[in-house]
Every structure is written in C-alpha cells, then in structure tokens.
Structure 1
Amino acid sequence: MSNSFVFTNARIPGYVGLQQLTIQEKVVISLEPQSQVIPSEGFLDLLGDWISLGGIDLQINGALGLAFPDLNSKNADKLEVINQFLWQQGVDGYLPTVVTTSTKNIQRSLSTLATSNSPILGAHLEGPFLNPAKRGAHPAEHLLPLTLDTVKRVLGDYASVVKVMTLAPELDETGKVIPYLRSLGITVSLGHSLATAAQAQHAFDQGATMVTHAFNAMPPLHHREPGLLGGAIAHHQVQCGLIADGQHVSPIMMDILLRASRYEQGIFLVSDALSPLGLPDGIYPWDTRHIEVTNGTARLPDGTLSGTTLPLLVGVQNLVKWGICNLEQAIALATTAPRRAIGLPTHYIGQPAHLLRWHQSKSGELQWKRLGSFEF
C-alpha cells in the first residue's frame, strides 16, 4: 500500500450509505460519505462491498494443538504462531480462555500470558467458580466455592492479566465477589449457572455485564421463570456471547435471541474454539481426557458437547447463510459488538488499515479478505 490511498464505494456497519476511507501511513485518517469526485490515482473502488474492523474473540480455548490451560514457559513461543494463525482467520484480538483446572495450572497460564503482547487482550477465566450441576465439560474435581478468599487465591499475583471471569452468581453467598472483581477492572460474565432471573438481576446490579455462551450451561428460557438468560435479555446493559456453529444453539433459537436482544446491542459472537482449531477432525487430548472432533464439533467420549474447532468468522457466514441476519448485522456481531462488550474503541479513525473486506457472491456465498488482498 502506498503512503496515501483511498477506498471508495464502501459499506460500513453502523454507517448509512456508501463511504470513502482515506489511508495514510497504513492508518485510517478519514471516513466520510462517498464523494462524487473519485481520485485519479491511488484508490480502489470496492463496488459496494462491506468493510469492517477485524474480529475480536472473547472466548477461545486454544488453537493448533495448544490448549491455553496448558500454557507454560516451554510452549509460550507457540502463542506467536497462534497469533499469526488467528490473524489469517480475520481475528485482530482475542482473550485466551483458561477453563477449569487446578489453581497451579491457572496461575502458570496467567504468568505466561502476562508476558505476551497484542493481539492478546488479556485472559478469560471460565471457571473454576461454576455450578457443579451446569459444569458441562469442566472437570468437577477442580471446581471451587465462590468466596473472596478462593477468588484471591486463584488470581494470586495475576489479577491484572484477567480481563473477563465467568462465574455462577448463585454460589456467592456473601455478595462480595462481583464488586471485588469489578474493583480490579475485571468484566464479570455469568455462566455455567442455575441462577434465577432475580439472582441474575442482583448480579447485574452489582456490576456483571456479560453472559457466557447464551443458552449453553444454563436453564432454558421458561415462561414462568425466565432464568439467567431471560434476565440478561431484559437488561439493556448486558451482552451475551453466542456460539453460531449450529450445534450449540439451534438456528431458530439464535433468531429468537437476536431479535429479542436487539442484535449487536445485546449479543456478540464467540468461537468457543478448542485446541484442535486449525487441525483436521480426529481424536485429541483434552486435560486428562480426550475429545473427538467431527465436522468441527468437539465432544467428550460420553457425548458431552465441549466446544468447536470453527473460526470466529464462520459464525458470521453461518448467520447470513441461514438467513438469520443481514450482512451488516452479522459482521457487527463479530467485530464491533465484542469490542463494545469489553470497552474497546469501535471507531475507525486512527485504526491500522488491516480492515476486512466482505463480499457476497451472486449465489449468496459470503467471503472476506484483509484489505490489501483485493481479489475475490
């Protein structure tokens, strides 16, 4: 890309009509409605294709054979390989997710992540403070009671590394944990929980602002007890992660959830991808157990759903393919919505010019490429 370049006739989520972006020194310096005057040189006509920020994955458990709970000083160099892989998958930043394991393993992983650079945005601790009845694939032997003492012990010296923590709010009998985590700047996400709508509301009042993988590991919506998810949908300050692989949640229920949650105002996509992300289907080790990956879906030997091996942006393609979202809404769910959920800027000015270009073919197939790769 030259020192100065203009992208014309672009559509951008959140903006009405065609837009024109000016790039200088590989940074976006202006974004304005399309001018009638087309530059004579140094421009690319995007022909109405969509442009977006890169994806942000707030729940990803590993990739290329490395599970983030297994991070240590000996395999830390593989993080850079994973960073490059995720970049190629359209992901600008992510939260390595450390699922329930021993306190020793959690702190070892956090210690390793503490020395890592962008695009790692911090860690997501999914456990060990989960309801045993909704633990899913999380090992029961490592679940802990939700108290201030156990939270402090698990975080140790690495609280500053943790960006998001998933917990079951009904386990906090004192009501002190969520305010404490918020005082540390940690975003609290509710999940793997049997919380009622009233218990969820209390947690939201205390500062919880997210829900982990909506529908999964929580009671279903019910007309007399809406539960955790119903409470979240009704709360305008809460955003829910959604796995759009078609296995974790039925497309019909996704449609209902997105309509009720005002699309990207209340929902963001996550991959929930496991360590075999980027590897072929097969049987892989997972903590002390094994998972079998078939068509991108991972299950334990007893059939328990444990995650996916599908990249984040496949969820965008799925939502469009299934007719659940229009293209603008689907793109926003993986790009601006997760940024908003953890307080990252969603503007374009000043951003590096490694944006994504989205193109929908006449047959309806949705493709994307980094700007700079102009051919489709």
Structure 2
Amino acid sequence: MDDNLLILNAQVPGFQGLQQICIQKGVIHEIVPIQSAPQTDLPVLDVSGDWISLGGIDLQINGALGLAFPDLSVENCDKLEAICQYLWSQGVDGFLPTIVTTSIENIQRSLSTISQFLPSTLNPQDASQILGVHLEGPFLNFEKRGAHPANYLLPLTVEQIKRVLGDYASVVKVITLAPELDPTGTAIAYLRSLGIIVSLGHSQATATQAQQAFAQGATQVTHAFNAMPSLHHREPGLLGAAIADPNVHCGLIADGQHVSPLMLELVLKASQFHGIFLVSDALSPLGLPDGTYPWDTRQIDVQNGTARLLDKTLAGTTLPLLVGAQNLVKWGICGVEQAIALATTAPRRAIAQSESYLNQPAHLLRWHLHSTTGDLSWQRL
C-alpha cells in the first residue's frame, strides 16, 4: 500500500456511514464522511463499501509453525521471527506469546529469549509485533487445570511469583491465575504494582471470590467458559461476575469447539458486546496440516483445527485469530462491524492500548462480505 493514499467509500468500525481515510507518510491522518468529489493529489483507492479496519491483536497464542513458546531458546529464536511474519500474513498486527504451565526453568528461558528478541528490528510492514508475554499459569486450580501439567502448578504467593518471574517481570504483560488460591489478595496487588495485567482463569472461583479479585485489581478473564465453573442461576461464578462488571474484559475462543455458538451468542448479547474480545488460543501446529504433534512431554492430535490430548482433553486450536471473526458472521451471531471490532479494537482496549484509528500506522485490513455466500473474507491493503 502507498504511504500516501486516500481510501474512498469505506465502512469503518465505530464510524457511521461511508468514510474517506486519508493516509500520509504511512499514518492514518484523517477519517471523515465521504465527500461527493474530494479534491486531492493523493492516489485514490475506492473500496466500494468494504470494511476497513486495523489488524488483529491476539492476546493468547501458544505457538505456531511447530514451535511452542515454552520451548523457546536462543537456538530456535530464528523461528520466532518466522512466526511473527506468519502471523502478519494472517492479519495479526501484534500478539502476546503465551507460556503455559511448565517448569520455572523453562519459563525463564523463554522469557529471556523473548526479552532478547524484543529489541530486534523486524520490519513492522511485514511482521507482527510482540507486545509482551502472557503467562498462563503456573498459579492455577488443580481441579480446573485442563491440559496444564499438574506437577508444575504452584501455590499463589508473592514469593512464588518472584521465583517464576525472576529478572523478567518487565517482559510479562498478562498473567492468568486462579484467585481463590490467595484469599488475601496480596498476589494480585503485587502483580499490579509491577504493571502486569491480571486475568482470572483455570479457576473454581465463586462470583464473590471473583468480585473480590476484581476489586483487588484483576481486569481480565481467560478463555471465558473454559476451565471455570459453568454459569448457574444460583451461583453465577467467575464468568457471571465478569460479565456483570463493566471494567472486566473477557477473552473468547470462537472456533465452535471450545464454546457452543449458541453460548457465544448468549454471552455477547448479555454483555452487549462490551468487554469481550477474541483470542485464538492457537497451539504450536498453527500453520501446519492436521496430524499428531509433540506438546511438552505429551502429544496432541489436530483434526480440523481442533487440538486434543490423546485422552481427548481439549487443548486448544490451530485456527488463526481472524477465523473467529469470520465464524461469528457465518453463524449469524453478529454483524460484520461487531465481529471485526472483537478481533481488532476490543483486544487493544483490554490491554489499554490505543484503539483509535487516527495517528496509527496504516496497517489496514480490507474486509468483504460476499453477497452470494455470506462469507466474510479479508486481505491486507
């Protein structure tokens, strides 16, 4: 795409009617309602009513191209660059490499590798940017550990947090934990003092315990519905408390396997789309064909984009982030504008990153809703 460009007849999430987008020196300079005959010396691109958006942000992705982020090391760091380029090709502008429960040694090796990689000069025109790390564990409830290995789970104390983070606290952006493991709330307070976003997940927390954790500073929920108590009319649980709290953001996996499409529709309508964002929760075989792959000391079987342990425990997906947005439209759960926002502006809001289009690099996606099939497709401009 030209560094200087005028895009005409664009629909933009959050804007009413057709817009014209002025891009100068590769930055979005202005978005205004379309004029009948704009006067400009800029090259013009008429998108004929297609949607234009920022790229996706994936706040929970466990690996890709055969590399799981807990296995990162100096020896395979070049694979991380390939992953950044692959995710860019999948419409993702930025992501949080997610390190699931493993040994402290593995966690710190991975954090060290990412900390050395972060100052790298990857071209933001063709590579997704690492925005920090998401630690999913090891402070999880044994009963809701899911595919996380039980032998590496740790008690939730400030001392254990310090052991896990070591010298790399500044690299960690989000940590998923079970708040009931620390009724005092000192762990959440400590993490917030480090600037780390606390997300609740893999938890048996009641609604009351979740509300206490939100009051202590937790602001997210990890893969809503999965690895937590179900919604119940007498005990709303962690998820019920989260949906009712306007300051809490919930990640959702929209692959049709982790959460029923009907339940996705229910939570989106209940929240009025506020505070919900999509994640991929993709595992290391993302970008590879179906088959059986190593996963820590175990194996996972990938079929049609769904990854399970060999005992059939659901482990994750191998579907890219934007497939979730496409699914929501295909299933008739929401309109194009809402689906796009759930994968682009909503996750930015969840990590307090600017969701404004203005003055951002023009790394834009063009979305087209096919009138005959109803399918939603996208391409990078």
TM-score range, shorter chain: over 0.9
Tell me what 2:25 maps to.
Answer: 25
Listed one character per residue, the Cα deviations across residues 41-94 of structure 1 (whole Å, up to 9, x for unaligned) are: 610111111000000000000000000000010001111100000000000000
Question: How many equivalent residue pairs?
Answer: 370
Task: Verify: 1:290 aligned to 2:299, yes or no.
Answer: yes
- With 340-349 and 281-290 compared, the bigger mean Cα shift is at 340-349
Supply the AA of the counterpart residue of 2:99. Answer: V
User: Once the two structures are superposed, what CA deviation does each residue of 1:250-307 show, in whole Å capped at 9, x if it has no partner?
Assistant: 00000000011121x2210000000000000000000000000000000001110000
TM-score (norm 2): 0.96
Corresponding residue number in structure 1 for 2:6 = 6
Find the counterpart in structure 2 of residue 187 from structure 1: 197
Partner Cα distance (2:177, 2:135) in 1: 9
Helix, strand or coil at the partner of 1:220:
coil
> What is the CA RMSD across the aligned residues, in angstroms?
1.0
Determine the C-alpha separation between the residues in 2 that align with 1:180 and 1:203: 13
- Asked if 1:211 corresponds to 2:211, the answer is no
Q: Match of 1:106?
A: 107
d(CA) in 1 for partners of 2:268, 2:238: 16
1:356 aligns with 2:365: yes
Question: Cα–Cα, structure 1 residues 279 and 32, in superposed 2: closer, same or farther, change >3 Å?
Answer: same
Q: Structure 1 residue 39: deviation in Å?
A: 4.5
**Of residues 270, 279, 287 in structure 1, which corresponds to 2:288?**
279
1:301 to 294, 297, 310: 310
Residue 151 of structure 1 aligns to a residue in which SS? helix
CA separation in 1, counterparts of 2:344 and 2:183?
36
Q: Which runs of 5+ in 1 are unaligned?
A: 372-376
Residue aligned with 1:111, SS: helix
Give aligned-pair identity as a percent.
Answer: 71
Structure 1 residue aligned with 2:116: 115
1:280-339: CA deviations, max 9, x gaps?
000000000000000000000111000000000000000000000100000000000000
* CA distance, structure 2, for counterparts of residue 162 and residue 304 of structure 1: 28
Shift of 1:350: 1.7
Matched, 1:368 2:378: yes
Deviation for aligned residue 1:173: 3.4
- Corresponding residue for residue 222 of structure 1: 232
Aligned equivalent of 1:45:
46
Which secondary structure does the structure 1 equivalent of 2:116 belong to?
coil
Q: Secondary structure at the match of 1:146?
A: coil
The equivalent of 1:269 in structure 2 is 278
Aligned AA (2:308) = R
Other structure's SS at 2:293 match: strand
- Alpha-carbon distance in 2 for matches of 1:35, 1:152: 57
3-state SS in 2 of match to 1:280: coil
Q: Secondary structure at the match of 1:57?
A: strand
TM-score by length of 1: 0.97
1:325 aligned residue (334, 337, 343): 334
CA 1:2/1:276 → structure 2, altered by over 3 Å: closer, same or farther?
Answer: closer
CA contact 2:198–2:220 (8 Å) conserved in 1:
yes
| Alignment equivalent of 1:143, drawn from 116, 139, 153 | 153
Query: 2 CA distance for matches of 1:324 and 1:3?
Result: 36
Please state whether the residue corresponding to 2:215 is helix, strand or coil: helix
How far 1:5 sits from its partner (Å)?
Answer: 1.4
Gaps of 5+ in 2: 119-127
Q: After TM superposition, give the deviation of residue 116 of structure 1 in Å.
A: 2.2
User: Matched residues in 1 for 2:319 and 2:199: separation?
Assistant: 22
Aligned to 2:247: 237
Aligned residue for 1:75, secondary structure, equals helix
**1:6-37 CA deviation, whole Å, 9 max, x = no partner?**
00110110111111111112221111111122
Q: 2:260 aligned to 227, 250, 268, which one?
A: 250
Deviation at 1:124, TM superposition (A): 0.1
Look up the SS of the partner of 1:8 in the other structure. Answer: strand
Cα deviation, residue 361, structure 1 = 0.8
For 1:133 and 1:145, locate their aligned partners in 2 and report how far apart those are by CA, in whole Å. Answer: 14
> How far is the alpha carbon of 1:4 from its aligned partner?
2.6
Aligned counterparts of 2:104 and 2:22: Cα–Cα separation in 1: 49
Aligned to 1:374: none
State how far apart, in whole Å, the 1-side matches of 2:13 and 2:320 are: 21
Counterpart in the other structure of 2:168 = 158
